[in-house]
A = this chain, B = another copy of it.
């Protein structure tokens, strides 16, 4: 199978873990041997495996499913790093995501996720007034 297909499969696996609120699967999807970063919609960046996994635990808390699916995934491969840009379709609207994968111990694992809105959005307050998560 080509790297392209494997990377898109890893991206699908991320959304499968997300939509089924499967924390164990989510833990397996993220990279272990490098610093990871996650930017949930509207949140400040979260760095490091413990903090990122904890953020998913909070998102999944009390839910068995999360209404999300991925659309229009397009990959760019830079050697042992790959970017997937895709749309995230949720019940309340849609987002655009950048998902970065690294080839770690012969597996493509997620090292960075950034999701933000598609379409117009209300600007957030200035830095001095904002709450950083």
Dominant secondary structure of chain A at its interface with chain B: strand
Query: Contact size class for A?
Result: 35 or more
CB contact list, A3-62 vs B, under 8 A: 34-35, 37, 39, 41-45, 47
* In contact, B111 and A117 (Cβ under 8 angstroms): no
Residues of B within 8 A of A87 (CB): 44, 127
Given known pairs A76-B35, A79-B80, A85-B45, the reply for A96 and B118 (CB within 8 Å) is no
CB contact between A37 and one of B44, B71, B83 (< 8 Å): that residue: B83
* In contact, B98 and A112 (Cβ under 8 angstroms): yes
Residues of B within 8 A of A80 (CB): 78-79
Write the nearest CB–CB distance from A80 to chain B, whole angstroms: 6
* In contact, A130 and B126 (Cβ under 8 angstroms): no
CB contact list, A93-108 vs B, under 8 A: 93-96, 98, 100, 102
Given known pairs A76-B35, A83-B100, the reply for A119 and B42 (CB within 8 Å) is yes
* In contact, A124 and B93 (Cβ under 8 angstroms): yes
Q: What CA separation (Å) do A82 and B130 show in the bound complex?
A: 27
Write the nearest CB–CB distance from A105 to chain B, whole angstroms: 14
Write the nearest CB–CB distance from A117 to chain B, whole angstroms: 5
